[in-house]
Structure 1
Amino acid sequence: MTQAPQTASGDSLDALATTGPRGRGKPSLALCVLLCAAANATAAVLLLLFGRPLLPQQETLRLWSTGFGAASNSQHLTDPYSFMHAVFGAGLCLFLDRLKPDWPVRSKLAVAVLGSVLWEIVENTPMVIDLFNASNQPGAYSGDTILNALSDTGFVMLGFLAARFVGWRGTLLLALLVEVALSATIGDGFVLGILAVFGLF
C-alpha cells in the first residue's frame, strides 16, 4: 500500500521545522525563541486593541487568585485555570509527538506556543466572553488581563516540557488528577466546562 504524497505546503513546513530556513540541521534555538516571543507580543497587542488591560483594574495584582468575580477571574498572574493550560500544553506535546515524530522538540514547542496564543486571542473576543458568561460556569468572566494571558501560555510551555519527561502515561495520570481536583474544588474543568458551554451541566 503506497502512502499518499504530501502537499507542497506540507513538505515546506516539514522542511522548515526539521532543518530550519537555511536547510542545515534543525532550526536554531534562537529562532524558535524569537518566534515564540513574536507570537506573544502579537497577542499582547491584539488583546490591547480588544480593550484588555495589562494588569487587574480593580484589585492589587496577586501571584495566585481563586476569586471568580469579574474583578478577579483571570485577572491575576496565576489561578486554578493555570493548571488547565498546563494540561493543554502536555496534550499538545503528545499530539505533536505522534503527528510529527521527526520534528525536533523546539519546533514542536513553538507550534504549541502558537496554538496557545491563538486560543488566548479567540478566548478574549466578545463572542467567546459572552458564551462563557451565558453558560453555567462558576463566577463571572470579563476576559483576561494581558499578564494573565501571557502567563497562561507560560503554563502551556511548562505542561509541554513536563510531558516530555513523564511520558503519555504520566501525562494522562496528571491530567486526570487536575480534572478531578478542579471539578471538586471550583466546579469546572475540561469536561464540566464543555458540558456547561453546551448547556448540559
Structure 2
Amino acid sequence: MIWVAILGVIAATAGILLAMGRPPICTCGYVRFWTPVGDLSGTSQHVADWYTLSHIIHGFLFYLVLWLAFKSRPAGERALIATLIEAAWEIVENSPWIIERYRETTIAIGYTGDSVLNSVFDIVWMLFGFWFAWRTPVWMSIAVAIAFELLALWIIRDNLTLNVLMLLHPIEAIKAWQGS
C-alpha cells in the first residue's frame, strides 16, 4: 500500500510540473539514460546525469534524519515521507525563483529547469539512495556519499555540498573556480 502512495506522489509531482509548463522530456526530442559531461544543455533533462549522485545522497540523508525522528515507524512510511520531501523540492527547484537563483549564483547560467522525466527520476534515484542506506551499514553509506561528492567535484566541479552552499550563500571565488 505504501508503494501505491509513493507512486501516487510521483505521478502527482509529474502532473504539477506539467501544469507549471515544464517539458515532459528534453526539448531536444529524445531521451538518454545518461547525460555526458560535455552535453550541458542535456543536464537535468534526461534520466540521469552527474547531479543524480546528489539525489542518491538525498536518499541517504533522508533515511538518516527520518530514522532518527521516526525510529518506531516502518521504513516504508519513512520512504513515503522522503518521497514527499523530494517531490516538494522538485516542484520548488523548478519554480521561476529557484531557476533564476541558480542562474545568478552558480555556473548554471543557461539553466532552464528540469524536464518532468528528469524530476521523476530524481525522485526515483532518491528512493534508491534511501533503500541503499536502509540495507547497508552506515559506514558504507557515508563512504559512498563521500566518494560521490569527490567524484562529482572532480568531474563537473560541482556536487551537493557546493550546490547548497552556492544557493544559500554564494561565494564568488567558488563560482569563478567552477567556471574556469
Deviations 1:69-118 (A, max 9, x none): 66312001111111110110111111111111100111111111111111
Structure 2, gaps ≥5 residues long = 175-180
- Residue 160 of structure 1 aligns to which amino acid in structure 2? F
TM-score, scaled to structure 2: 0.89
Structure 1, gaps ≥5 residues long = 1-29
Q: Is 1:162 aligned to 2:132, yes or no?
A: yes
* RMSD of aligned residue pairs (Cα, Å): 1.6
Residue of structure 2 equivalent to 1:199: 170
1:10-89 equivalences under 5 Å are: 30=1, 32-67=2-37, 71-89=41-59
Structure index of larger Rg: 1
Identity of aligned residues (%): 26
Name the CA distance, whole Å, in 1 between partners of 2:39 and 2:29.
11
Name the CA distance, whole Å, in 2 between partners of 1:45 and 1:145.
12
Name the CA distance, whole Å, in 2 between partners of 1:185 and 1:67.
8
Q: Is 1:186 aligned to 2:156, yes or no?
A: yes
Structure 1 residues 139, 80: closer, same or farther in 2, change over 3 A? Answer: farther
State the 1:128 CA deviation: 0.3
Using CA pairs under 8 Å that are at least 6 residues apart, name the structure with larger relative contact order, 1 or 2.
2
Structure 1 residues 134, 58: closer, same or farther in 2, change over 3 A? Answer: same
Deviations 1:127-168 (A, max 9, x none): 000001111335631111111100000001100010012232
Residue of structure 2 equivalent to 1:103: 73
Give 4+ residue runs of structure 1 displaced > 6 Å after superposition: none
State the 1:186 CA deviation: 0.2
Deviations 1:171-190 (A, max 9, x none): 11111111111111101112
Name the CA distance, whole Å, in 1 between partners of 2:153 and 2:60.
19
